[in-house]
Structure 1
């Protein structure tokens, strides 16, 4: 098998793909963390050598007073959601000769605060924070220290906090309206973490669409999930066990929709003949599922790209005023939605 050609423009994503490991593993090796298996470390170092990847952070910092490193805080690395965000982030960082330092929080407040404080003390020039759980614990401190940061897919706690989000309310409204226009009246929803603004706005859009079409909002058709496939599975089973189950389900993420598909398959329920399903995000997998998933496209790569450009502008031209951005969502109609099945006597 032919090897990839070595290039001085190789990125952390290139190294991860070459070595067959995750982005976070490459980040741990680059930053000389101890909790990497020796054989994995050797594999990553060999990939870095083949690709000509270099990350001489200390020399850069001494030469220009900056580390030329951007810190990225994410919940985990198990979803295409994060991968699509990183695609946009990496594109901008590579073009501007910055490196990426990646940490995962797994929704633990203490880890989130600890990583932010650590990176803000010289390890990075700025921070990108995706879906923060406890921003109140550290954003005030970052502002007081004038340390650059941008929040992704979450609003800040102060009007000066810079954020890049998607139009989640509009997306939730469009998803629900699509199901209503197909003829559905009992529409269930499986939400994400309700401490996340994105999840609350998608629910608000769902409720507004029902109200606009004179359909009563029913609490028993709402299941609180956590954006994961397992919550989609449990949420779908809960909704389908109702005395009057929904004829359609709005899943607040495509991963949740995958869980709904698992539950439907276990019950021999056909999508969309017996149950319509719509997701949110439009991760690459949604277009190759059977049936292909109708969903709301969130411009994830553009969100990562936009947030990174904003952060670099804060670092390089702090005197210039930046403004938060809300990117539009788009309804993508595929195969998983259809008019409700009507039994005939």
Structure 2
């Protein structure tokens, strides 16, 4: 097995220079870096990651905690984080919390035990108080899709209240006044804030919030099916359905077709998140864009700037949602 001494000799540079190349130190010219890289390639030299870690006090790894591994939403989030970090020569370790406080704590403890240089976490079960205490520890922690006032500089988040407002306002502007709403689980901050936006749009247009047109779903297709089933079983009068995410909207659309409800002629539907399939189902789903991949990129840049001292990075902590108009809303007068 080749050694660092052989690399130094073949490249014609000092051991310290080889070490700086291995640890991505910027105080090395491109020409010298190329000589060292060529020598390592020729000799088949592989740097010892444990030795690198001890020498630099870095593992060049970032821990990621998400609620689930399946689904487009978390896939886009992880892809955004990983691709940005990989370009900077960092790797990720991923675990899940399943939106439960005990599992989220366990996941965070696991990532810290792996000596990650920083954590990027998407938590839904843990309290702000717990996370503020966590952030006082030795491992830097950054938060996805959540705003914690005391840790605002460590947060990357979407204005979910505005998104909820835009979704319902889109229906109102098409002439709808009897609007049903399928919410996400209300212990989740994003679901709670989207509902608040829905209520704000109703109030600003002098429309009442009707309990019989409200259903708390679970952010899955099944939740959407159950929500629409609930509304139809009550024989409630409504022409529009706002869903707190695209998966529930998809489930509601499936149930509508199975029960001969024409879309969007009999029922207009809007979702939230703008995940990949929303533009491919029929009718193409009008939705609210949640730029989660871009937010993932930004969370990674925040780590690169604060933890790895990478220069020239501009950080945007807050993202705004936008209406993506497609084919699933009809005018009430059409």
Short-chain TM bin: 0.7 to 0.9
Secondary structure at the aligned position of 1:123 is classed as coil
Question: Does the residue aligned with 2:135 lie in a helix, a strand or coil?
Answer: helix
Whichever of the two has the greater Rg, that structure is 2
Q: In structure 2, what is the Cα distance between the partners aligned to 1:88 and 1:205?
A: 27
Task: Name the TM-score, length of structure 1 as normaliser.
Answer: 0.77
Residue from 21, 37, 57 that aligns with 1:65: 57
- Residue 257 of structure 1 aligns with which residue? 249
CA deviations 1:6-54 (Å, max 9, x no partner) are: xxxxxxxxxxxxxxxxxxxxxxxxxxxxxxxxxxxxxxxxxxxxxxxx9
Of the structure 1 ranges 149-158 and 286-295, higher mean CA displacement relative to structure 2 is found in: 149-158
| 1:305-324 equivalent positions in 2, closer than 5 A | 305-317=297-309
Structure 1 gaps of 5+ residues are: 1-53
Q: Counterpart in 2 of 1:124? A: 116
Contact 1:76 1:105 in 2 (8 A): yes
Q: Is the 8 A contact 2:298 2:316 kept in 1?
A: no
Contact 2:100 2:124 (C-alpha < 8 Å) held by counterparts = no
Report the CA distance between 1:336 and its aligned residue. Answer: 0.7
Compared CA separation, residues 55 and 170, structure 1 to 2 (3 A): farther
1:154 and 1:196 in contact (8 A); partners too: no
- List aligned pairs for 1:190-205, cutoff 5 A: 190-205=182-197
Q: Secondary structure in 2 aligned to 1:316? A: coil
Query: Residue 272 of structure 1 contacts residue 336 of structure 1 at CA under 8 Å; is this kept in 2?
Result: yes
| Cα distance in structure 2, aligned partners of 1:327 and 1:217 | 27
The equivalent residue for 2:101 is: 109
Contact 1:174–1:331 (Cα < 8 Å) also in 2: yes
Counterpart in the other structure of 1:279: 271
Q: Mapping of 1:195-274 within 5 angstroms? A: 195-274=187-266
CA offset digits 1:235-268 (Å, max 9, x no partner): 1111222232321111101111111112112211
| Of 285, 292, 303, the match for 2:295 | 303
Deviations, residues 253-285 of structure 1 (Å, cap 9, x unaligned): 111111111211221111101110000000111
Among residues 132, 135, 152, which one is paired with 1:143 in the alignment?
135
Give the superposition deviation at 1:324. Answer: 7.2
Question: Does the 8 Å CA contact 2:220/2:248 hold for their aligned counterparts?
Answer: yes
Q: Which residue of 1 aligns with 2:39?
A: none
Query: Matched residues in 1 for 2:127 and 2:153: separation?
Result: 11
Aligned residues of 1:93 and 1:99 also touching (Cα < 8 A) = yes
Q: CA 1:293/1:278 → structure 2, altered by over 3 Å: closer, same or farther?
A: same
**Is the 2:145–2:156 Cα contact (8 Å) retained in structure 1?**
yes
TM-score by length of 2: 0.80
